């Protein structure tokens, strides 16, 4: 901080605190994370400068078009930030564009280019100062954290595998501890991917193999979902079906456990005692196990698929972490992509609502500035809104009023320094001492709370507004405090625009979207059996499959924030709902992936359509406890009945044909999907949905 201010003041820049702000936001736990954030900040600042100068050039005298274009760009940055692997670049591009455009644009656009260049220079100065300080005071290393996380997860996977395969041994009840362990593993795996690039920036060896480690992180990200699918597939098996699968399950348990143990030993720098099997253990289901009834064959086929997924994914992960001596590894294998999260840049309603909320916040500030000419620091309020709005978009459940008190406390402490300390200084040595002590005090006090540390440091730097020609005007400090208070007040006022982000309201929206996606998937999959889908239909199917796939994770994160006492719920009920939604999502995805391709329609497959109560669902209300999946459920029941009648009279030798095996698999997944829908209907009948809609007014 001292070095950044020293360079900025010696260059006589107009706003030296911009260099200090760069230092404040780059203070991270490891060198690799800081270097990555430096790169993203430079890229975001360059893009923001180009956009801001372009907007000023296009609309020099048209403030309505100027602010409309600026708000659209801020909304675009917010939308891309929420779905990007590098969100900080989009965040910087958004709020820096507002700062440059408003400070250099209306009402005075004469110095816009100088403002943009000074912002770039001071950002670079802060980056160089922080980078140089890294040589003086070494920071942590991301590479060690990355490998330690993989090792810890690999060591726990053995016991978790045993719990997920327990239903195949006769345990027919849900183990809450296993569910909690899977969620914890999913949360840890989600952070693993963000550590790959920082670790690669620290280590040359990881940089050379960053693509392989990226695939390792993606594989661990997919592993909790595959393990949960294995667990759910074993819960619905009959005794005879478990006996038929038992030899394969035992073989899979031993082989996968060896792979997980070897992964942990590899991360610890040890060589495994006996190398685990590198090739998949399970192929297609053996013909002798098909010598049973049609319904048993269908259940066996459906239960075999998750076991294959686990076998293949664990083999790929071991191949990635232990590449062959020839240099060939499994990173480029197309089989891995079947288990990974979809990376398609598709429409996400939640991200769109958050981008819309940011645009509403900006326009509230703009209208206040236009129609209240005497409003102090009107332009400062507008330039603050993108910074606050983009930060809150990353935590949509955060209420704006919760940030007002910490911000005012930080401003009060800064006011004491501004009024009683800074006027007493007569040189840079005294200023450097104050900056060093303030940075150390804030960093120490908020050591475990990075967001509050950054917020307090930024408010301290902006409120002090240190310059070479320093003037002390308490009115300016009050105006800045007023601007911060108004900006947070706008955030609090607009937090439910255009939709409410209360956890129970968001849960209702997710459940409604799950119903719509289920109906659409059943309809499109049924249509796909006889007629290939056109491009718009394929895009619609991909959108709904991704929506249904993401729903359980979003609902599980909301479950921790629901007001249980107000909703008259207990934790077990909410967990049952989340598990039921997860089961429906998994079997819906599996069922829509394996439909047979029939050359001629040998039986009629009905299509699902939304019923007449669609309008009531748009209001966020579930008007009956039956949880409206009736249309999709009736369609799946009819499809299962058609498949059953189609397979009933097929001789045993013909039942082993490729098309009949695929039809049997589809029937087995249909049985599981039908069961998941019925289970969700029963569980949904426990809740008072009207209370969810009006919970905060009860």
Give the residue from 339, 371, 403 where a domain finishes: 339
Q: With beta carbons less than 8 A apart as the criterion, state whether 17 and 462 touch.
A: yes
Looking at the structure, do residues 294 and 323 belong to the same domain, yes or no?
yes
Looking at the structure, do residues 474 and 532 belong to the same domain, yes or no?
no
pLDDT tens column, 528-550: 877 888 888 888 888 899 889 98
Give the residue from 447, 472, 493 where a domain finishes: 493
Give every CB contact of residue 137 below 8 A, 6+ residues apart in sequence.
Answer: none
Q: With beta carbons less than 8 A apart as the criterion, state whether 482 and 377 touch.
A: yes
Looking at the structure, do residues 653 and 511 belong to the same domain, yes or no?
yes
Give domain status of residue 233, yes or no.
yes
Looking at the structure, do residues 244 and 321 belong to the same domain, yes or no?
yes
Dig out the tokens for 622 from the structure.
């579930």
pTM of the model: 0.86
Angle at 72 between CA 71 and CA 73, to 5 degrees: 90
Element (H, E) at 612: none
CATH code for position 146: 1.20.58
Looking at the structure, do residues 179 and 68 belong to the same domain, yes or no?
no
pLDDT tens column, 571-586: 889 989 999 999 999 9
Dig out the tokens for 415 from the structure.
């006011």
Give domain status of residue 656, yes or no.
yes
φ and ψ of 340, to 5 deg: -95, 160
Question: Among 279, 174, 292, which residue's Cα sits nearest to residue 242?
Answer: 292
The Cα–Cα gap between 405 and 411 comes to: 10
Residue 272, helix vs strand vs coil: coil
The Cα–Cα gap between 298 and 662 comes to: 10
Looking at the structure, do residues 133 and 150 belong to the same domain, yes or no?
no
Give domain status of residue 173, yes or no.
yes
HSE-CB of 480 using CA atoms within 13 angstroms: 20
The Cα–Cα gap between 693 and 362 comes to: 28
Give domain status of residue 584, yes or no.
yes
The Cα–Cα gap between 87 and 77 comes to: 9
**Residue 478: predicted pLDDT:** 85
Give domain status of residue 546, yes or no.
yes
Give domain status of residue 436, yes or no.
yes
The Cα–Cα gap between 424 and 426 comes to: 7
DSSP assignment of 339-408: GSPP------HHHHHHHHHHHHHHHHHHHHHHH-TT-TTHHHHHHHHHHHHHHHHTSTT--GGGGHHHHH
Looking at the structure, do residues 191 and 332 belong to the same domain, yes or no?
yes
CA dist 109 → 99, 104, 117, 474, 693 (Å):
13, 5, 14, 28, 48
Give the residues of the chain that fall short of pLDDT 70.
27-30, 104-111, 134-143, 172, 272-273, 285-291, 324-346, 597-628, 649-657, 695-698
Looking at the structure, do residues 334 and 235 belong to the same domain, yes or no?
yes
Give domain status of residue 33, yes or no.
yes
Domain ranges, residue 92:
2-140+347-493
Q: With beta carbons less than 8 A apart as the criterion, state whether 391 and 483 touch.
A: no
Give every CB contact of residue 55 below 8 A, 6+ residues apart in sequence.
Answer: 66, 69, 70, 73, 97, 101, 105
Looking at the structure, do residues 265 and 382 belong to the same domain, yes or no?
no
Give every CB contact of residue 638 below 8 A, 6+ residues apart in sequence.
Answer: 605, 606
Looking at the structure, do residues 203 and 329 belong to the same domain, yes or no?
yes
Give every CB contact of residue 499 below 8 A, 6+ residues apart in sequence.
Answer: 353, 505, 509
Give domain status of residue 498, yes or no.
no
DSSP assignment of 121-182: HHHHHHHHHHHHHHHHS--B-HHHHHHHHHHHHHHHHHHHHHHHTGGGGT--S--HHHHHHH
Dig out the tokens for 463 from the structure.
């409120």
Q: How many domains does the chain have?
A: 3
Looking at the structure, do residues 180 and 317 belong to the same domain, yes or no?
yes
Calculate the CA dihedral of residues 367, 372, 377, 381 and round it to 10 degrees. Answer: -20
DSSP assignment of 20-54: HHHHHHT--SBHHHHHHHHHHHHHHHHHHHHHHHH
Looking at the structure, do residues 680 and 538 belong to the same domain, yes or no?
yes
Give the residue from 493, 521, 538 where a domain finishes: 493
């Amino acid at each position: 901080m001292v070095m950044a201010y020293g360079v900025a003041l010696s260059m006589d820049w107009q706003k030296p605190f911009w260099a200090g702000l760069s230092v404040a936001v780059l203070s991270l736990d490891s060198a690799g994370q800081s270097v990555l954030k430096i790169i993203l900040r430079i890229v975001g600042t360059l893009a923001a400068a180009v956009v801001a100068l372009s907007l000023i050039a296009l609309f020099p005298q048209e403030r309505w078009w100027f602010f409309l274009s600026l708000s659209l760009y801020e909304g675009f940055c917010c939308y891309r930030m929420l779905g990007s692997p590098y969100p900080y670049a989009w965040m910087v591009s958004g709020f820096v564009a507002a700062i440059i455009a408003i400070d250099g644009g209306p009402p005075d656009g004469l110095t816009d280019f100088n403002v943009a260049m000074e912002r770039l220079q001071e950002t670079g100065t802060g980056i160089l100062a922080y980078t140089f300080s890294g040589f003086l005071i070494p920071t942590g290393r991301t590479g060690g954290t990355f490998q330690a996380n993989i090792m810890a997860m690999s060591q726990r996977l053995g016991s978790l595998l045993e719990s997920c395969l327990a239903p195949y041994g006769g345990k027919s009840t849900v183990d809450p501890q296993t569910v909690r362990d899977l969620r914890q593993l999913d949360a840890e795996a989600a952070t693993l991917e963000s550590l790959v690039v920082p670790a690669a920036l620290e280590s040359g060896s990881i940089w050379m193999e960053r693509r392989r480690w990226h695939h390792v992180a993606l594989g661990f990200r997919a592993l909790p979902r595959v393990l949960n699918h294995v667990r759910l597939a074993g819960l619905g098996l009959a005794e005879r079906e478990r006996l038929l699968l038992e030899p394969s399950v035992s073989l899979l348990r031993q082989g996968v456990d060896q792979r997980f143990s070897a992964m942990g030993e590899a991360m610890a720098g040890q060589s495994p005692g006996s190398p685990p099997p590198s090739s998949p253990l399970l192929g297609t289901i053996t013909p002798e196990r098909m010598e049973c009834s049609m319904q048993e064959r269908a259940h066996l086929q459906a239960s075999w698929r998750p076991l294959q997924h686990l076998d293949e994914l664990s083999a790929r992960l071991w191949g990635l972490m232990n590449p062959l001596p020839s240099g060939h590894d499994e990173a480029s294998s197309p089989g891995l992509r079947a288990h990974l999260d979809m990376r398609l840049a598709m429409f996400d309603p939640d991200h769109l609502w958050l981008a819309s909320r940011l645009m509403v916040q900006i326009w509230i500030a703009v209208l206040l500035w236009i129609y209240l000419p005497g409003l102090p620091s009107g332009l400062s309020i507008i330039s603050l809104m993108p910074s606050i709005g983009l930060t809150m978009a990353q935590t949509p459940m955060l209420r704006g009023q919760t940030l007002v008190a910490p911000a005012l406390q930080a401003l009060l402490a800064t006011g004491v320094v501004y009024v009683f300390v800074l006027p007493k200084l007569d040189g840079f040595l005294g200023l450097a001492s104050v900056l060093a002590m303030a940075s150390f005090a804030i960093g120490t006090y908020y050591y475990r709370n990075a967001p509050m540390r950054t917020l307090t440091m930024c408010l301290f730097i902006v409120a002090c507004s240190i310059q070479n020609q320093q003037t002390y005007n308490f009115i300016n400090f009050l105006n800045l405090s007023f601007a911060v208070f108004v900006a947070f007040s706008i955030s609090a006022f607009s937090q439910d625009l255009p939709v409410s982000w209360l956890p129970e309201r968001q849960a209702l929206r997710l459940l409604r979207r799950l119903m719509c996606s289920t109906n659409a998937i059943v309809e499109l999959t049924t249509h796909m059996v006889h007629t290939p889908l056109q491009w718009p239909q394929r895009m619609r199917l991909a959108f709904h499959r991704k929506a249904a796939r993401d729903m359980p994770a979003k609902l599980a994160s909301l479950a921790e924030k629901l007001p249980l006492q107000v909703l008259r719920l207990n934790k077990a009920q909410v967990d049952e709902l989340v598990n039921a939604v997860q089961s429906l999502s998994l079997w819906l995805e599996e069922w829509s992936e394996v439909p047979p391709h029939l050359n001629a329609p040998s039986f009629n497959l009905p299509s699902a359509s939304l019923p007449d109560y669609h309008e009531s669902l748009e209001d966020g209300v579930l008007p009956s406890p039956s949880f409206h999946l009736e249309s999709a459920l009736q369609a799946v029941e009819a499809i299962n009945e058609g498949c059953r009648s189609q397979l009933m009279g097929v001789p045993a030798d013909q039942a082993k044909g490729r098309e009949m095996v695929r039809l049997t698999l589809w029937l087995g997944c249909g049985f599981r999907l039908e069961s998941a829908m019925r289970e969700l209907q029963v569980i949904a009948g426990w809740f008072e949905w009207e209370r969810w809609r009006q919970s905060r007014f009860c």
